[in-house]
Structure 1
């Protein structure tokens, strides 16, 4: 990247500044802008494209991702799949031809035993090109400045922030100064390359071609299978639907095909030539599995594909991992920018999210869909329960107390029972006569959950000492006493214990039973996990 042109068209730092600059307007970038603006952080997002990609790409969004979208007010905007839904795949000659067998799910035994409900959400089903405008609209409604048709030309960072040179669609160049920058600029990430951050992993798997088309094929979805491995002597391909009349046929090669050939192959995969087929676009894809060696460099953070590329899987680990990256980072940036937390809080982003990416990388290759590309070490990787991967991954960082190296990387939520470093468990409780998820009691703030009235005073004392507001949810008051015992059990607390939950819904610390001096204990714990800047935090 070259330096900005220093002429009359360049704006000075004082004329154009923001708290966070997000580079890249895909799912990760738009999610970052939305989560930051929702926290009240001045945010500018730049994206060189004027519109979303014509390729729908991702379509499945996990229950945890839906929880995050629900928290910012998008719960009713994104269609959810039925409870218990599993993405099913079959090997077939063609849609209209012989169906051979259904590919097993990751762990078929999981479907045989009932499990506790882990979330108020099920997964979401909406094509990426339909979701991105929703995220952009919400980000803008929260105050984010979205600049499409704007390209990052160069950047320099120093101890005060990042100065970026941007080029608008009309060719005008100007500088923008940001306290921090998020690189959500895709798997090739010029920002990551400029920072000389290397990557490791299974690497490049293959280059693929695809064709997106529209066809009346809903009748072939009646059995509940949505993905099809086409297995013919002269055609090995993958066919799937976006559930909106659009389908994509993928070829595991890098062969250029003209429209006539694409139509022939589409008809061959369908097994019929009498249907009206509309070809929308063709694409070329690089399938890879690579994790950046670090997710941060000074005041610049990598997110989404810039940080990790994970091949499409039935766990939805690619796009969902990127969205969850940005949610993890947003509250930390908000805390540091507000002056409540020291910059060392931001060290926890890499410490928490990079191991998460590696765990998901390894799980992809331990499971049936990619075992052929896994290599010999995959046999040594145990397959982790789906709900454990979704709701029970463990964070170890300076923003958590009590998550040591002896603990496993993931367990089911009920097995953790409120372990610090894990997502707070979901239960339905009653508030004002209505069922409410425990997750709805937390909502983007530090929250202390307890039954003993002494912790309410402790929350007030901690807030006053550290300058960080701590909401207290007192069990037995609201929620009602009938729910209190179940919540205490789920959080692993005795009647006099308390759990401190971070603004992202992760348990930061807990005291399982009584403390001689609750206020002192909470002030000490909150000071550590929040990296509080007030002097009493270090006491």
Structure 2
């Protein structure tokens, strides 16, 4: 007889996004069981870059201290076109070019928009950190358990899993399931959810290896090398993981050979490096594999009680904007607090509908931005899709200024259109949005009252609903609205009050778009759900209370709320 285990949420898939989902759910005190068919991380490091926004999210769950000391200081990795490492170097290839096409004088200063840096670390280094923290917070990670079947009904979801080593079979029963089972997601396919996008572009063969003699080629600051322009027609991609490991990848269509033995692998490394004299002992082979590169966006990110996240929802090829793995981690963060609020009995199930409404457009924009830039644009020139030939968006806007539109975002009359009366752009810098509902609440450097200790507005988000204002009288309205809606951990933050003050006077009003008596309602994920630029003379508590009811889908709220 199968062993039956009950929990609140099942996560299927234990790579980066699945682990993030388990981490964020356990952070919100949601009982979660993760099922992963492999016993640990992949032999290939895969993702390497985690953006400032991702580190903000991990920081909110107590992971930041384990990542200290590995932050990059010069932005995303630099790439250059070369014939080989030892051959001719053609020129730098930029992720985003300025409008005049001239090289940028310096990298984007993301630190002006965030209290943390992005990091450059291999996926198989960060995954154990996520496992450890998720387990510490109470998540149950069942590695080596492959899901063999599942079904859902009106009351929940059941999944059957088998341990590949012992043959032990279990059945897990939960209220909801999060599918993080990859680009070929069996769960998505069984649900019958179709995908659109540029589709499959190419298949790469790769070699992971160590080769100390080539480390010297990193002295010029480049970490990625696009191999092209050779007389022999060989092309490929060479990158370092910063820990002595390198990966060489090339298009399978350019290599009809099926031989992947050690001799042929070392020969490929010699060809790519332009160093035929490398000895066998100079090249330590670690792993080899094949990778499908393409772009797909699922037509829906949910079906019933099942939600898709990461590659199961969107496959986005590796890129220097960090739009792949980072988008998946943000999926997990967006969904986790909503599941926590529904499972905890604070919100109605309709809150979960906002997951698809918010995350799918973000994935679509990122898909189109990837294939608009030179890294991948040349490979899809002959493809047609609705988002082709979009305008290239600013890097800061993409990182910190993509906007959510859903029933969980409460707009005022001044928020419906931009100042020119046009439809809203897909992304803008935070200082341009000026605190519009639907954006990540901006980072602003503050100072603890009575000290020189700096902090950020973001330090107050990620734990509960928050009302933030320079007008201390909102504290009463915030307390009363939270009590009526049933959110016991509601917080009020007064800028200039007893706790924190602005370092530069007037910046709070500028970034959040608020007058001296205005206030903003910030969701548990740090997104602005509602604001009022100035405090109304009457009905102040009612306006905040109604906004909280609507944004949270609080249990018992009226249809008009």
Give the TM-score range, shorter chain: over 0.9
Distance 1:462 1:126 in 2: 43
Residues 1:297 and 1:375: Cα distance change in structure 2 (over 3 Å): same
Distance 1:186 1:329 in 2: 17
Residue among 429, 434, 455 paired with 2:446: 429
Distance 2:472 2:181 in 1: 48
Q: Is 2:409 the partner of 1:400?
A: yes
Residues 1:482 and 1:317: Cα distance change in structure 2 (over 3 Å): closer
1:286 matched to which residue of 2?
292
1:369-397 deviations in whole A, cap 9, x for unaligned? 11112336676310000010010000000
2:13 matched to which residue of 1?
24
Distance 1:301 1:135 in 2: 21
Distance 1:350 1:404 in 2: 21
2:435 matched to which residue of 1?
418
2:542 matched to which residue of 1?
520
Q: Is 2:552 the partner of 1:530?
A: yes
CA contact (8 A) 1:523 1:537 kept: no
Classify the secondary structure of the residue corresponding to 2:7. Answer: strand
- In structure 2, stretches of 5+ residues that fail to align are 418-422
* Structure 1 residue 84 displacement after superposition: 4.2
Distance 1:176 1:454 in 2: 48
1:347-377 deviations in whole A, cap 9, x for unaligned? 0000000000100000011111111123366
* Structure 1 residue 537 displacement after superposition: 8.6
Residue among 177, 190, 193 paired with 2:173: 177
1:189-212 deviations in whole A, cap 9, x for unaligned? 110011011111100001110100
2:507 matched to which residue of 1?
486
Residue among 204, 207, 212 paired with 1:208: 204
CA contact (8 A) 2:181 2:312 kept: yes
CA contact (8 A) 2:445 2:503 kept: no
* Structure 1 residue 229 displacement after superposition: 1.3
Residue among 348, 356, 368 paired with 1:350: 356
- In structure 1, stretches of 5+ residues that fail to align are 1-8
Compare 166-175 and 197-206 and name the one that shifted more: 166-175
Classify the secondary structure of the residue corresponding to 1:351. Answer: helix
Residue among 231, 234, 250 paired with 1:233: 231
- Alignment map for 1:50-449 (pairs within 5 Å): 50-78=39-67, 79-108=69-98, 111-112=104-105, 117-169=112-164, 170-216=166-212, 217-231=214-228, 232-234=230-232, 235-253=234-252, 255-256=257-258, 257-272=260-275, 273-274=277-278, 276-375=282-381, 380-402=389-411, 404=416, 406-432=423-449, 433=451, 434-449=453-468
Compare 481-490 and 38-47 and name the one that shifted more: 481-490
Residues 1:330 and 1:379: Cα distance change in structure 2 (over 3 Å): closer
1:260-318 deviations in whole A, cap 9, x for unaligned? 11111101211222351100111111112001100000000000000000111111111
CA contact (8 A) 1:200 1:290 kept: yes
Count of matched residue positions in the alignment of Structure 1 and Structure 2: 528
CA contact (8 A) 1:366 1:374 kept: no
CA contact (8 A) 1:476 1:484 kept: no
1:241-271 deviations in whole A, cap 9, x for unaligned? 0000000000111642322111111012112
Compare 366-375 and 298-307 and name the one that shifted more: 366-375
1:36 matched to which residue of 2?
25
Residue among 468, 477, 495 paired with 1:475: 495
1:42-84 deviations in whole A, cap 9, x for unaligned? 0000100011100001101111101111121221322543444
* TM-score normalised by length of structure 2: 0.91
Distance 2:59 2:215 in 1: 29
Distance 1:427 1:482 in 2: 9
Distance 1:335 1:362 in 2: 32
1:3 matched to which residue of 2?
none
* TM-score normalised by length of structure 1: 0.94
CA contact (8 A) 1:466 1:537 kept: no
Classify the secondary structure of the residue corresponding to 1:77. Answer: helix
Distance 1:452 1:208 in 2: 57
Distance 1:188 1:365 in 2: 21
Distance 1:316 1:481 in 2: 32
1:450 matched to which residue of 2?
469
CA contact (8 A) 1:451 1:484 kept: no
1:467-499 deviations in whole A, cap 9, x for unaligned? 013200011112126556321221000001000
Compare 470-479 and 497-506 and name the one that shifted more: 470-479
